A and B are shown apart, each in its own frame.
Chain A
Amino acid sequence: MLNQLSVFIENKPGRLFQLTTVLAENKIDLLTLSIADTKDYGILRAITRENERAVEVLKEAGFTVSITKLIAVEVADEPGGLRDILAIFEREEMSIEYLYSYARTKEGTAIILMKVEDAEAAVRILQSCKVKLIDSLL
């Protein structure tokens, strides 16, 4: 499993710019980034090279931040690669809250990052199915 930052972003001009400025000024490198958005606010989800320090500097800058545990799965970068993983979830009736992919990886594979309801149970089952789990993007 690996850590992801979740940040509350008020839907107001300049908030995302402020957040990236804080990270840039503290020389924190982003590895992944995705945003779930609603009418009034968004939830920014990101993995950085230094998550703990990122939490610290963002809180200091006045952001509401939390750390979320994600499961990272390596899949074959070919048609049906993600489907094979989802088939396991389907069979085991495990639900996924959200997922996104990470592209910058070695030739022929991709990484799927997902938040699931019961992370420990999911890890156990995925391991028993010989799925390759990743603990760090670095």
Chain B
Amino acid sequence: MTGYILDKTETLSRGELAALQSERLQKTVRLVYDNVPVYRAKMEEKKLRPEDIRSVEDLHKLPFTTKQDLRANYPFGMFASPKEDIVRIHASSGTTGKLTVVGYTQNDLDVWTACMARSMAMAGIDRSSTVQVSYGYGLFTGGLGAHYGAERLGAAVVPTSSGNTLRQITLMKDFGVTHLCCTPSYALYIADEIRKMGLDMAEFELRGGLFGAEPWSEAMRGEIEKKLNITALDIYGLSEISGPGVAMECGCKAGSHIQEDHFIPEIVDPDTLEPLPYGQTGELVFTTITKTGQPLIRYRTRDITSLNAEPCACGRTTVRMNKVFGRSDDMLIIRGVNVFPSQIETVLIRAGGIEPHYQINVDRVNNTDVMEIEVEMTEEIFSDEVRNIEKLKQKIESMLYSMLGVTATVRLVGPNTIPRSEGKAKRINDRRTY
């Protein structure tokens, strides 16, 4: 079964949508101004009053929110509703410092579930489907988000959470799982384990997957689709905004539809913070307009992408975001050139026979940035002659140079020495000191 449109809101005319957004934005601004001291202070600083915001046209007047604001107001300082109305609290792991907390009212959980249900409908999930949720369940929003969305559609949910890959595969086969939800790197790991077990995809009912929580390339999509013999779609979300399902790719695979009746997207220049027109690449910013627990105004996601307002062949009228190209905080500047891990991943997959597990090491030697990519030696690319291995190394290095425009050296390391992750992969080891 292919994707379908669950909710007619997804096909509103642009004018109808703008009217709905304007009404909801005004309510949200009033809510945070009255209840969240940080927002009141930020607006007062700009000499803004809630009544100055009359429509989406006024959005750019509002102050930005950053992850730093969430940390500074840890744990509950950003809540706009009384604690007794909060029914769920998630937290996302920060690599440094405090956790980022998100509080949900029942209304917020309903909004999130509705967005996830729409997203899963895009992948063709319905009551006849069996959905395996291999995102982690817990403080991370992936597991529970996918779980409630699939249940809302009446699908059978297999809540495996992450880990114990052999059991994941056994259940997937025995239960006739039709759709898989996990990170794209875990999907590839599962595919490789299936192959190692000597199983054939014909023994599975698997047809589709919703993969997200980390940026991935078109090349990686090709790899997952080929190895698992499925349609692989990109799902986007972040816990601060609600969780997975903020945007989702339809079967056209031409960008992810943003649930604009709940979240207003903008693209801004990450340096000047000036809004950029549709089509231009910059940092994605969201304003939530239906949430009540912890609404966020112009939240800077750090994700680098562009927006596309062209009508989609699927019939939805919502703006689409292109694949996330990288994160403004993941972006490496090597000798003045912007480098994103996704570009390196694309090269490794194109080179063939290489595991898409890699690590980027950046050092500063004699005041020059030096980038080294660790790649695992697999049986497929191993040769017992040094010159063959050197030839392969040089091939990858020259492909990296043409993709990135800067030199990167490749270092071959033993199999399974690069840490695997069942959540988001950590790939950058920036050891530069200035």
Contacts and interface: CB of A to CB of B under 8 A. Distances in A.
Interface of A: 4, 6, 8-10, 12, 15, 36, 38, 40-41, 43, 45, 62-66, 68, 97-98, 115
B385 A98 contact: yes
Main secondary structure of the interface of B (DSSP, over half): loop
Contacts of A97: 385
Nearest to A9: B414
B365 interface: no
B412 interface: yes
24 contacts: A6-B382, A6-B384, A8-B382, A8-B412, A8-B415, A10-B413, A10-B414, A10-B417, A38-B390, A40-B412, A41-B377, A41-B389, A43-B385, A43-B386, A63-B415, A64-B377, A64-B378, A64-B379, A64-B414, A66-B383, A68-B384, A97-B385, A98-B385, A115-B385
Interface residues of B, number: 17
A40 B373 CA distance: 13
B272 to A, nearest CB: 43
B420 interface: no
Contact of B414 (A38, A43, A62): A62
Contacts of B412: 8, 10, 40-41
Given A41-B412, A63-B414, A64-B415, A36 B379 contact: no
Contacts of B417: 10
Given A8-B377, A10-B417, A38-B390, A66 B384 contact: yes
Nearest to A8: B377
B394 interface: no
B384 A15 contact: no
A38 B386 contact: yes
Nearest to B385: A97
A62 B413 CA distance: 12
Given A9-B414, A43-B386, A62-B416, 17 more contacts: A4-B384, A6-B382, A8-B415, A10-B377, A10-B417, A12-B414, A38-B386, A40-B412, A41-B412, A41-B413, A62-B414, A62-B415, A63-B415, A64-B379, A64-B382, A97-B385, A115-B385
Nearest to B410: A40
Given A64-B379, A66-B379, A8 B385 contact: no
B411 interface: yes
Nearest to A62: B416
A41 B382 CA distance: 12
B257 to A, nearest CB: 43
A115 B414 contact: no
B386 A8 contact: no
Nearest to B386: A36
Nearest to B372: A40
Contacts of B382: 6, 8, 64, 66
A27 B377 CA distance: 27
- Closest 3 pairs (CB-CB, A-B): A6-B384, A10-B414, A8-B377
B66 to A, nearest CB: 40
A33 to B, nearest CB: 14
A68 B386 CA distance: 14
Interface in B383-434: 383-386, 389-390, 411-417
A98 B390 CA distance: 16
B380 to A, nearest CB: 9
A21 B415 CA distance: 18
Most buried by A among B378, B385, B411, B414: B414
A6 to B, nearest CB: 3
Contacts of A15: 414
Nearest to A39: B411
Contacts of A12: 414
B198 to A, nearest CB: 15
A120 B206 CA distance: 46
Most buried by A among B378, B384, B390, B413: B384
A90 B92 CA distance: 67
Nearest to A38: B386
Contacts of B384: 4, 6, 43, 45, 66, 68, 115
A30 B377 CA distance: 24
Contacts of A68: 384
